[in-house]
Each structure stands twice: as structure tokens, then as C-alpha cells.
Structure 1
Amino acid sequence: MKTDFQFSNLLGTVFRSGTLTFTPDGTCLLSPVGNRVTVFDLVNNKSHTLPFAHRRNISRLALNPRGNLLLSVDEDGQAILTHVQRRISLYHFSFKGAVSALVFSPSGRHFAVALGRKIETWRTPSTPGEDEDGGLEFAPFVKHREYVAHHDTVQSIEWSSDSRFFLSASKDLTARVWSLDPEEGFTATTLGGHRQAVYGAWFSADQETIWTVSKDGALFQWGYLPPRNLPETDGDFDPEEHMRWRIAERHYFMQGQAHLTCAAFHPDTNLLVVGFSNGTFGLYELPDFNQIHNLSISQNDIDFVTINKTGEWLAFGASALGQLLVWEWQSESYILKQQGHFDSLNALTYSPSGDRIITCADDGKIKVWDVASGFCIVTFTEHTSGVTACEFAKRGNVLFTASLDGSVRAWDLIRYRNFRTFTAPSRLAFSSLAVDPSGEVVAAGSLDDANIHIWSVQTGQLLDQLSGHEAPVSSLAFAPNGGSLVSGSWDHTVRIWSVFARTQTSEPLQLQADVLCVAVRPDSKQIAVSTLDGQLTFWSLSEGTQEAGFDGRRDASGGRKLTDRRTAANVAGTKAFNCISYSADGSVVVAGGNSKNICLYDVSSGVLLHKYTVSVNLSLEGTQEFLNSRNLTEAGPGGLVDTTGEASDLEDRMDKSLPGAKRGDAAQRRTGPEVRVPGVAFAPTGRAFCAASTEGLLVYSLDATVAFDPFDLDIDITPETTLKTLQQKDYLKALVMAFRLNNPKLVTRVYRSTPPNDISLVVKDLPLVYLDRLLRHIAQQADGSPQLELNLLWLEALLKIHGRTLKQRQGEYAEVVRMVQRAVARIQKEIMTVAEGNEFMVDYLLAQPKTAETKRIELVPVTNGGDAVDGAAQSGDEAMGDEEEWIGLD
């Protein structure tokens, strides 16, 4: 089995904090998710996460006008310049301070960055392929100029359309006009008059007007005007000398107690959108200040808003609940409406088909994620407390979840509804769950009780309470063949229950420490057990004997938290695996725990194949192996010292986390989120696995979607020589050459040109290295091409000749076999539908009354040379002459 899994995508999180930005064509939205960047394709309904990662949470994003360079900056001022289309990072750079604003000029030659009260302009680095000299530079970032005049943090920067000037808005109640290069007759201008911090300043499309907006909801319109009370003197007086930027109009948003949190302006359409702290936003048309919309989209602050280039779509981000919205204001419809879990994930599971991932979290929500698109397609909110476990029935689209609210619920994933709720006689907080493969029985365990509760899915009745454990049950798992239920407990035992036998006996397996997790191999012959002392042991399910075991404490050990008194190597809480999952063929297990590491082990040899680091984000606790002694102060670690009490703004000093709280909790301590992995699961195809972590839902896969992946490519193999070989009727050689070029159109041409009588000969001599590709191609052709019989002939020949190989190496071919199964099932369904329709048509025709006025109806048989006609009927006028009388269908 291949084990070179690579990071593929990040799901479960759509927006954390920072800024959003649209691509120049307006079809994609870039969103910061912790220390990574996710690209949402709004037209094709897909998303992907860029492979690079910062060392802190990202605070600012900027995209150049061409849309190929992305500059991302984290909270410490560390920047990464990325080529978006190629998904590679080009340069790393440090601005040596927190960045509060970042924007490229419209020409793309410069970008401006705000570092506190200072503004710097830099030249944009060149990228390979832009010009003849375009190559990687040794020192790509070159500072152009520096501007210092503000007295407080600069909050936004906006360029003029000609890239000669830019505006800055600051917390010092002013906005300023700057020039990129020294201009004759121009001096930097200060625009003062606001009573609170200025959040934004923009030029109009003709650059004759400036708009500024402040935190208290005041919008000022500035014009280049003479004084209002200009004295009337003789002709020597020149009013041009007294022209200044002056306030022409004042407007106010009037949002009561709510204050303005973000704003964006679109000069071409004169649209202004503002977001407020009460979760509402307003859309206004300037200069008349006409209100177009005023809607509430969140319960918390709207942190950032932006407008795409055409002015049609508005993107909003709210970090408190992790919400991301894209709204089309003209049609008043959502283009994108996503929200991640705002509490830590607890468990996850794959659907049997492998195209869905289900996650559950402490916020009481269950979310279903589409693997292909990366979007959440449905959210269930019926649970009233944290959801601790989720499990799929192997047959049917039924999902089961267990919760701390004392209920186990069954969900129909076709109609998206809760159709069963299972409860115990006494109120228990369920923490583990297992479902019989047939989907008829569900079992749950609790940390409040040592019994295992079993319910019937059909009736919802409690069937039995299995007693035998002497401590809380931590993990449950049904054998895939449905014969046994395996339970792990804190009493140092694993018990194997014969649930469906007449005498419900259990066989205990004794271990040396508390059992944290149990997993059953897909062939139902082996059990994997993780214990609190860091041991991974493997037991025979039928014999009840230990087959293998190894120590995973060193592999599971994670980083050091700020509050730890011991080093990372000596901390006890991270030295065990809390979750285990077998691969599809049972040869590999993946394990995770309360640390930053995910470990991939070979079962037979006990060798550590790979160790994956979940996150390098220093904003999370437990990602560092060693703490920096320079961060230690007299009051303790510097990361634990609360500095928000010195904030100048009142709402920054107050903690309103409790409803109705007027002041903060004096006893509250600020603690950062800890990196941990509460759940891992292998995909049914064996080509991917996912892990629930503090960062979100991490997907690791064997990426097979490479644009060009030549195999044994030779200089003589070209599309022209492949077509020439095809004309010579050497079909096998032409097929292999097309596969080596990895040209789908060429493979399809050879595939369709092969005569039906030669298909079995081609398949018989086909090298096994191309078997996976040919199966994948047939599955794709069966989904999209109308040549039904040709696809089935190829498939029949492959299964007859290579069926034994597919069975012996089922772990390697699991994904393509599932694709073929889905294609065949769809074809069968379509044929059955046509056959049933023909049957009803024939019954209808035979039931017609035999009257002389009725036109003769005759079934026309299908000839070998003609087109296929399913139940086609022709009228008598077409099949026979008018002079013949109707004689019935006897």
C-alpha cells in the first residue's frame, strides 16, 4: 500500500481573522484560516487550501492586480509571497513589526504597508516568466519610501487609480493624502474633523472627491474647494491660492449603540458598504447617501468586508463564529454562506462512499462536508450539548451521533432529518458509539456509567444493558462482519461481546493501563488497542491473544505549553494516542492524540512510516518543543500576561462574553487554544485520511490529480507517433503510448478506436502498471459517454482477465473499483428505468379498446443496422397505407 500521503486540503474552517480579498476577475475569494489561506472558487463551487503555512495566524492578505502574486502577513509581521496559480511560495520576508494595513497599487509596481503609525512603500518583486530577465532575485523586497506623520495606528490605505497618490486612515482621528514620489507643488495633506478613529478613506473614480468614515458612524465628503466666505476684493486676488481639501457634506449612519467596525467603497459604482458591531451591514449609494440595503447577517461583529471588481458581490467575515458570506446585492441572494465549528472538534467519520466527511464538536453541531468541493452542505443543530461521537451505518445513508445531552440520534442523510432519538433510563452523557454493520442495532457508552446501552434502530427501544466493566466505557467498535462488539474501558480491559448470540457472553482481554481507543480491522480478524501508557497493542479477535505491540510514547509526545513546568519530553498528558483508524486493507494504522503529531504505522512490523505535524502555528499552545527563556518575565511567561487592560478603547478592555455583562470577569485568565487531534479516520478508498484538529479538518491524500505526470516517457513518444501507431492497428502499443503521455483525449481516441473483437487481446497483454489508469478511464467514460456497450465490453474483459489481481491487491485498487461500481450501478439504474417504461408502454398499448376508428398501432422491431428504439410505436399512417383497415393486435 502506498503511504506517501501529503497535505491536501483544510476543511471545517472558513474564516478565522484578518482580511478577505477577491481575485481580479471576481470569481475567487481568498480567506485566511488560521495560519493558512483557503481559495474559494465561487463559480465552480470548489475550494482548496494553499500548501504553505505561517508561524502565526494571518492578519493581512493582498493580491496584485494581475492576480498571480499573493502577499500574506502574519501577526508578527512575517510575510510570504506566493504564486497563486502554481501554489508555490516564492519568498519569505519580515517587516519587523505588526502590520495593520497592506495593499498593492493599481499598477502593480508597488505596495504600501502600515506598521503601526508608520507607512512604507515597497517595490513589487518580479516573478519568473514575467519578462526576459524574470528570475528569482536574491533580495527581491526593495523599500521605496517611508512616511511618518500619524500619531496612532494606521488602519487602512487606499491608492488612487493612477497609482500616484494614496490615502491613509488612522486612529489619531485624521486621514492623510500622500504621494508615492515627490510631486511638484504637492504637500502631504491632513484631513481632520472626525471625533473618533477613522476606519477608511477613499478617492472617488474621478479623484475629485475623498470620502472618510469613522468609528462613530460619521461619513464625510471632502472636496478641493475655496473658503466658503471668500472676501470680495479687486482683481489681483487669486482664489486658486486658497484651494484646500475641505468638508463638503456630512452624513451619519445612526445605528444606536452599535459602532462601525469595517467599511469598503467601490469607486466605479459609488457603492459604500459598512459593517457594524451588532452584526448588521448597510449598503449606500454615494454621493446622495441613499440607503439600498440594511440587513442583519450575524450575531457578532462583522470584522471585514470587501467588494469584488465589478461591484456585484460583497464578502463579509465574522471571526467570533467563523462565518464567511458572499452576497449579491442586486438579486439579494447568497453566493456563498459558510460557517465552521466555533468550538473544538470531537470526532469525525467518512461516509461509506468516501465523498462525505461528518464532523461533530462541542458547539452541539454536526456538519457534513463534501470532500470534492470542500464546502459544508448541511448542518444539524438538534443536539443541545456537545456531540462526542459519530458513526455511519455501512448500509444506507444513516448517521448516528452521541452527545453529552444524554441522547443518541439517527439522521437520514437523504432527507436531512433526525428520525430516531435513543435515550437511557437514567440521564447519562454518552461519549462513545458503535453501529452494527447492518444498521439495525446501535450501542453507546458513557463516562458516567460502566454499562453499555444497546437500542433497536427500527423501534427505538432499549434492548439491553451490557454490564461487565468496572469503570467507564471509553470506546466501542463493532466488527465489520457484525459478529462481535468490542468495548474498551478504564478498568484496564477490552471485552468482546457476542451481542446476537443466545447467551450474551463477554471475553475480557487484560491490559496494563486505561484503554483509550479500540479499532477493528476491516477483515474482522484483529483489534488495535491504545492505552494510557502510550502502548499500541494488536489482538486476534477470534483467538483473544496478543499478536503484536509497540511503544508509541516517544512518537505521540508533543510540544510544550506555556503553563507546563516540565519539558516537552517529560509531559505526561501527550504521551498516548486517543484515536486509531485502520486503512482499507488493514496493513496500516493512523493514530493521533493530545499533541501536534499524527503517526502512521505499519501493523505487521510496527515501524513508524511517517509522522505528520498538524500545525506549526505558534498562536496555538503545544506547537513548540522548547520555550524561549527571553519570553519569561517576573510575572511569569510573557504569553500569559494580559496586556489588553492597557488598551485605549473601552470595548477592548471590557469582556462581554457573558450575556448582560457590563464589565469583565475579574477572575478570568486568558488561555490560548491547545493543538490536539481528537479524531482520525481513513477514507474507504484507502487513498486519503483526515484528522480533526484544533486548526480544523486536515485532509491528507495520495494526490492523483497531477496535470502532467509522464510515465516511462521517451523522446519517440509524441501524439503524432501515437496516432500513427493507431493507424497501423497496433492498439496495445498505441494505448500504452497514450498512457505515457497522460493525454486524456488521446487515451479516449485509442480506447474508442479499438475493435470489439480485439479488446480482450489488448487487455490480456496490458502491463499491470496501467491497470489502475485504464479502470479509472473506463469509469470516467461510463459516466460521460453514450457508448454503453463499448464501455461494458472493456469492463467485462478487464474483470475476467485481471479479476484475481484486483482481489489480491484490493487495497491498492480500492478507489478505482469503487468508481467502477458506482458507474455500473448508475448504468443498471438507467437500463431498469427504460425497461420499466417500455413495459408500461406495452401494457398501455395492449389495453387499448378495439374500435374501428382507432388508428392502427404497431410495434416496430429493432433491426441490427438501425438505431435502438425502446418501446417505440409508429402510427398506422406511417407504417401502412390508409386503405387498410384496422385488424387489432391479436
Structure 2
Amino acid sequence: MAAKIQKTGIWSSNPGTVRGAQTCLEGDPKGKKMLYLNGNNVIIRDIEDPTQVTIFNDHARATTSARWAPSGYYVASADERGMLKIWDPNNIGEAKVKEYQPISGPIMDMAWTEDSKRLVVVGEGRENGGAALIVDTGTSCGTISTLGRTSTCDVRQKRPYRAVIGADSYVVKLFEGPPFKYKSQYQEHNNFVQKVRYAPNGEMFVSGGSDGKLFLRGGDQGELLKDLGETREKGKAHIGSIYGISWSDDSKKILTSSADKTAKIWDVETGQAVTEFTFGTDLEHQQLGCLWQGDFLLSLSLSGNINYLDPNDPSKPCRIVQGHQKRIVSIAVNEDRSKVFAGSYDGVTTWWDSKTGLAKTVEGRKKPTLITQIDYKEGKLSTVGMDDTMRLIDDQTLEYMDDSCGLDSQPQSVCRGSGGLTVVGGIQKVTIVRGSNKASVLEVTYNGTAVDIHPNQSEVAIGDEMGNIHVYTLAGDTLTEKTSFKAHCEAITRCRYSPGGEYLAVASASKAVEVYHHHCDYAQDLDRKNYKHNAKITDLAWSPDGKHYATTALDGSVYVWGLEKPNPIQAMKVHGRAATNCVVWLDNASFVTGGDDACLRTASVTF
């Protein structure tokens, strides 16, 4: 059997969110799956089992909206350039993708007609912010006239068709068709209109805005039926902006989510809120989207958490799906490889169950701001970030410890050893930390871009920005230079001792990786310069048995190397269009990678 790398799973990112803007969270017609966006990706997950993940990554720019066709056979998605793509969610990567550009700017929302043949889109075009088109050909089927930013739209799911849009000009407009043409407009809102949604039966639609108001209107003529929440505090449905609206299947109730950090269920007949869900008091608890799919009620937090709601216990979510929103820069694994820790550049650290692929966010009072690198040893995780601080995470509590260590220079690399030892490579300084206390600082003439501790803890190898490796003997908390050598012609990005300590593998920005013999005064092993990556190498990790090592690169590739052969086993575009930033092994035949798509990907290798 030929040696190969096989992709085996996706540990998904969570929705990307922006404060002050509604976030896409949609469902499929069968009520089984949810759809959301992160970066260039459209992510589809099973609601009952969110570990079942499918990703569409064909967009070249950041995605802005997506919607499932009523037939269930197509999804329409759009990006910040205004590119609209129609694709088959059941056959991603194989079926043909249709592409149109109906407006000249970002498409913020879209809606299908009930026959899945027409599409209405709105956004921020230079000449017009809306369009109606026939899906098969891309030709126009009416005029959606709107100026300025238009954030939301929907289409009545029965004939005669009606399209409704909501704009930042505080206006709600109604169109009839096809071909769609202007019918009437309404301006009860006194701030941006963030969301409009028709009831499944088409008899009504509701609009919510940044004014906290929620208006219910007739589905055919748009006449005002109710001002939901007019009897509540300040005469508003929510005291913050309304960003999410979703109807129950029977069109009798509405779920809303708001920046006031609550979600509410409204009874359409009485116009009253019958249930109010609370999430917390912090900024990250603002709710930017919601979805009602059958028995499942979901609300989306600014932090990216997907909250599963239980009307019988509205005081807290009955389940929270967590993950990363920004690119993952470093990952580590505990001793028995049951937990994978991941850090993203926005300061979020998560731990993942390697068996289930589900994540929990590491909490604690002293969280970092921007993470540079993480490393694990003996029940503790050391993290360093752009705030010039090293912090510790306890493996048992899975929280940041209260103690932290301030560093004298910006850290660029970290390695954790036994006995509470952490070595931090920084700008012209190498810092030895014991526990959370600074033990010693070594002044150097280079920047420590990579660092690793020998398994017997007798030596420390540090790579610099000029391609040199500096080897130090470690006695207590004192480093003494032993030797240095030129390993590459460009900056060292990662250096790693093999588990047994016999070899030191060194990767660099020059796209090459080399292996050196520790017991032979770091003599070079096989020459691998003819088998480079096609882009800068970002990480390197040895398999537990020390027979192979994996490298990742900015071009999204993963190479697995053996000690006996210079040529690697290659896998390209592991993270789609995104770079692959880091890798750890789960066992001798499988590994996990983290990338710019904020996802972790699992793969197996056959030698």
C-alpha cells in the first residue's frame, strides 16, 4: 500500500462575530442542521451532534451571508466582494458551483422564493443595494431599489410572492412580484433595521432594529399588526439592539436575540414575551443571532458560543458549543493525548477532547490578550503572548491560574519542561521561569524565534532570526552556551528534539527542514534540501515513537517525514484556502493540525 495522508475529521470553528452587527445563523429545511460563517468558510453542522461538520471554502474573500434553499438541494452564499455562489451542500467539492455578482459590494443577506428558483439579495452596493435574480441563469427578475447599507431581507414562502427588506435608513420596504417591484415602505423604526423575517405560513413578517423595537406586520399588504413589547420597559421589546429573529414552525411564536444579553420567546397572539433567557453580564454575552429549528432553540453570543436554550430553564443554556473564532497559532497535547489544547491569536485558549472533538474554552480572571505560543508538561500549560506575560493553565481546573510572570521582552517562543520549568525565547533575552516566578534572564544578541528543552533537561536549543541554532547546557536555572551552528539561511521557525533525545529537527522560513544528531555534536543527518515545502514552515512535531515528524506550512500543506528517507509524505491544502500553523500527534499514525480557518483538522498517515 502506498504511503499517504488521509483527512479524517474537522473540529470546527465557531461563528465569526462583529460587535454591533447581526450574524448569520441559519437552518436547513429539514430542521436538522445549522449553517454559519467564519472567515472564508461556510460551515454546516448537525444540531443534535455538532461534531458532524461540513465546510464549503470556495470563497476567496470573507463570507458575509448564506441561506439554504427551501428544496434543501442548494445553498447560496456571498462574500464581501459581492460574489454570490450557488452550491450543493450534499456534494461539496464535486458538484459545479454557479457564480454571479448581482451587486458591486458586500451582500449582507439573501432569501429564496419557495420554489428555489429565485433569489433576493441585499447589501452595500455602489449604485444599488439590492437585486432579484433567477438562480439558473443569473438574470434579473425585478428591481430591489434601496440606497445605502441594507442589512436584511426575506421572501414570503407562498404566492403571491412578497419581498421585504430592512435598511440602515430606518426604513422597511415591501416589494411584490415576480418580477419584483416596489409596493410600499414603513418607518416606525428610529434606528437601523437589523432583521426582517417572514413567518413560515407567510401571513406575517416581523422587523427588529437597533432601537430595540419589534414590529409585526401583515404578510401581504404590510399593515402594522402589533408593536411587540410596547407595554414593557421603555416601550421596547429589548433594551438593546435586536440582531436575531427566528419563527417557530407553527408561526405562533418568535425567538429574538439582542445586545442586551438576553433572548426572548414572544407569543404572536398576545404580543407578550413568554420566556426570557439570560446569559451573563459581560460584553461577550451580547446575543447576535438566533435559530429555531424544530425542538432546538439556539442563540449566538458575541464570544462565538452557540447556546442551546431550554424554555423550562431559561436561567442558563442547557448546552454550549464552543470553539475558536480567529486563526489558531499554537497547539499542544497532554501526556496521555486525551486533551488537545489550542490557542488563537485573539487570546482564546480551548481544550478539546481528542475522542469526541468537542471543545471547552479555558476560563479564568487573567486571560492573555494575544497568544504567541503554548506548551504543555506535567499537568500545566504555559502560554505566552503579546502582553509580555507568561501565564499558566491548570489541567485539572482548566482555568488560568491567578499567578502570572511578567517578561522583560516580547516573547516569541516557549517550551515547558519538568519540575515547573519554562524557557521563554524573546527579543534579545532568554527567560527561565519556575512555576510562575522568574528565575533568571540571559541577555543574548539575537531574537529567540524557537526554543526546545532536551528530554533529559540537560540542554536547551534556541533558534534565531538569522537561521542559527544556539545550544546551552542547563544547570538548575542557569544557561551556559555549549555550541552554535548555522542550520538554515533564514529565520528558524521551530526546533524540536525527538522524544528520545537522539535528534534535533529544525525548520525555517526558507521552507526547508533538517535533522541533526545530538550525540554526534549536532552533525547533520540526511540532506533534505531537495524536498522543501512550497512556503514558510510554521511548525514541527515528532511522533510519540520518534520515528517520524510532521511539518506544516503557510501554503496549507502538511508533510510527514521519516528518518531513513529524505522525501516526505505530502498532503496539500489541509485547511482549504487557509494556512496550516501548527501540529501535534495523537498517536504514531494520526495527528491534529490548526490553521488560519480557526479549525482543527485530524488526519491519519499510512506508512
- TM-score, reference length from structure 1: 0.56
Quick one: structure 1 residues 367 and 263, their matched pair in 2 at CA, closer, same or farther if it must change by over 3 Å?
same
Q: 1:373-403 CA deviation, whole Å, 9 max, x = no partner?
A: 443224134344433332222xx54433344
Q: Determine whether 1:522 maps to 2:517.
A: no
Quick one: structure 1 residues 452 and 156, their matched pair in 2 at CA, closer, same or farther if it must change by over 3 Å?
closer
The structural deviation recorded for 1:70 is: 3.1
2:141 to 146, 152, 162: 146
In 2, are the aligned partners of 1:278 and 1:300 still within 8 Å (CA)? no
Instruction: State which structure, 1 or 2, has the greater radius of gyration over its C-alpha atoms.
Output: 1
Q: Determine whether 1:590 maps to 2:550.
A: yes
> 2:239 & 2:287 partners in 1: Cα distance?
17
Q: Which residue of 2 aligns with 1:547?
A: 525
> 1:60 & 1:290 partners in 2: Cα distance?
30
SS at match of 1:308: strand
In 2, are the aligned partners of 1:117 and 1:150 still within 8 Å (CA)? yes
The structural deviation recorded for 1:259 is: 4.1
Q: Which residue of 2 aligns with 1:536?
A: 513
SS at match of 1:29: strand
1:376 to 351, 359, 368: 359
The structural deviation recorded for 1:313 is: 0.6
SS at match of 1:542: helix
Q: Which residue of 1 aligns with 2:483?
A: 508
Q: Determine whether 1:63 maps to 2:68.
A: yes
What letter corresponds to residue 20 of structure 1 in structure 2? L
Q: Determine whether 1:54 maps to 2:38.
A: no
In 1, are the aligned partners of 2:213 and 2:237 still within 8 Å (CA)? no
Q: Determine whether 1:178 maps to 2:138.
A: no
Query: How do 1:435-834 residues align onto structure 2 when only pairs under 5 Å count?
Result: 435-436=416-417, 439-453=418-432, 455=434, 465=440, 470-480=445-455, 484-489=459-464, 493-499=468-474, 506-511=481-486, 515-531=492-508, 535-544=512-521, 545-551=523-529, 555-557=533-535, 576-586=536-546, 588-592=548-552, 595-600=554-559, 602-603=561-562, 604-607=564-567, 609-610=569-570, 612-613=572-573, 678-691=581-594, 693-702=595-604
> 2:94 & 2:586 partners in 1: Cα distance?
29
1:290 to 266, 272, 275: 272
Q: Which has the higher helix share?
A: 1
In 1, are the aligned partners of 2:195 and 2:243 still within 8 Å (CA)? no
Q: Comparing both chains, which one has the higher relative contact order based on Cα–Cα distances under 8 Å and sequence gaps of 6 or more?
A: 2
Quick one: structure 1 residues 66 and 540, their matched pair in 2 at CA, closer, same or farther if it must change by over 3 Å?
same
Quick one: structure 1 residues 38 and 271, their matched pair in 2 at CA, closer, same or farther if it must change by over 3 Å?
same
In 2, are the aligned partners of 1:82 and 1:89 still within 8 Å (CA)? no
> 1:216 & 1:420 partners in 2: Cα distance?
40
Q: Which residue of 2 aligns with 1:3?
A: 4
Quick one: structure 1 residues 401 and 150, their matched pair in 2 at CA, closer, same or farther if it must change by over 3 Å?
closer
Q: Which residue of 2 aligns with 1:763?
A: none
> 2:346 & 2:113 partners in 1: Cα distance?
42
Q: 1:231-250 CA deviation, whole Å, 9 max, x = no partner?
A: xxxxxxxxxxxxx7644544
The structural deviation recorded for 1:478 is: 2.7
Q: Which residue of 2 aligns with 1:190?
A: 184
The structural deviation recorded for 1:488 is: 2.9
Q: Determine whether 1:347 maps to 2:330.
A: yes
In 2, are the aligned partners of 1:42 and 1:335 still within 8 Å (CA)? no
List gaps (5 residues or longer) in structure 1: 124-140, 226-243, 558-575, 618-674, 704-810, 813-890
Q: Determine whether 1:315 maps to 2:308.
A: no
Q: 1:679-730 CA deviation, whole Å, 9 max, x = no partner?
A: 3333333322313x33213414138xxxxxxxxxxxxxxxxxxxxxxxxxxx
Q: 1:524-543 CA deviation, whole Å, 9 max, x = no partner?
A: 21111235655533210111
In 1, are the aligned partners of 2:226 and 2:271 still within 8 Å (CA)? no
> 2:89 & 2:65 partners in 1: Cα distance?
16
List gaps (5 residues or longer) in structure 2: 123-127
> 2:129 & 2:465 partners in 1: Cα distance?
57
Query: How do 1:52-201 residues align onto structure 2 when only pairs under 5 Å count?
Result: 52-65=57-70, 67-85=72-90, 87-98=92-103, 99-106=107-114, 108-114=115-121, 117-120=129-132, 122=134, 141-142=136-137, 146-148=141-143, 150-152=145-147, 155-171=151-167, 173-180=171-178, 189-194=183-188, 198-201=193-196
The structural deviation recorded for 1:364 is: 3.6
In 2, are the aligned partners of 1:60 and 1:72 still within 8 Å (CA)? yes
In 2, are the aligned partners of 1:80 and 1:90 still within 8 Å (CA)? no
The structural deviation recorded for 1:368 is: 0.9
2:34 to 29, 32, 37: 29
Q: Which residue of 2 aligns with 1:254?
A: 236
> 2:512 & 2:201 partners in 1: Cα distance?
70
Q: Which residue of 2 aligns with 1:716?
A: none
Q: Which has the higher strand share?
A: 2
Q: Determine whether 1:305 maps to 2:305.
A: no
Quick one: structure 1 residues 503 and 52, their matched pair in 2 at CA, closer, same or farther if it must change by over 3 Å?
closer
How many residue pairs get aligned? The number is: 577
In 2, are the aligned partners of 1:535 and 1:549 still within 8 Å (CA)? no
Quick one: structure 1 residues 20 and 91, their matched pair in 2 at CA, closer, same or farther if it must change by over 3 Å?
farther
What letter corresponds to residue 543 of structure 1 in structure 2? C
Quick one: structure 1 residues 449 and 492, their matched pair in 2 at CA, closer, same or farther if it must change by over 3 Å?
same
Q: Which residue of 1 aligns with 2:49?
A: 44
The structural deviation recorded for 1:21 is: 1.5
**More deviation in 529-538 or 250-259?**
250-259
> Alignment RMSD, CA only?
4.3
In 2, are the aligned partners of 1:676 and 1:694 still within 8 Å (CA)? yes
In 2, are the aligned partners of 1:390 and 1:433 still within 8 Å (CA)? yes
Q: Which residue of 2 aligns with 1:358?
A: 341
In 1, are the aligned partners of 2:238 and 2:260 still within 8 Å (CA)? no
The structural deviation recorded for 1:341 is: 4.5
Quick one: structure 1 residues 78 and 6, their matched pair in 2 at CA, closer, same or farther if it must change by over 3 Å?
farther
Q: Which residue of 2 aligns with 1:790?
A: none
SS at match of 2:520: coil
Q: 1:326-355 CA deviation, whole Å, 9 max, x = no partner?
A: 333343242543454566543211233334
> 1:73 & 1:503 partners in 2: Cα distance?
56
The structural deviation recorded for 1:508 is: 0.8
In 2, are the aligned partners of 1:202 and 1:211 still within 8 Å (CA)? yes
> 1:588 & 1:335 partners in 2: Cα distance?
43
The structural deviation recorded for 1:176 is: 1.6
The structural deviation recorded for 1:550 is: 4.4
> 1:389 & 1:223 partners in 2: Cα distance?
55
Quick one: structure 1 residues 540 and 249, their matched pair in 2 at CA, closer, same or farther if it must change by over 3 Å?
closer
The structural deviation recorded for 1:9 is: 1.8
What letter corresponds to residue 271 of structure 1 in structure 2? K
> 1:162 & 1:532 partners in 2: Cα distance?
58
Q: Which residue of 1 aligns with 2:125?
A: none
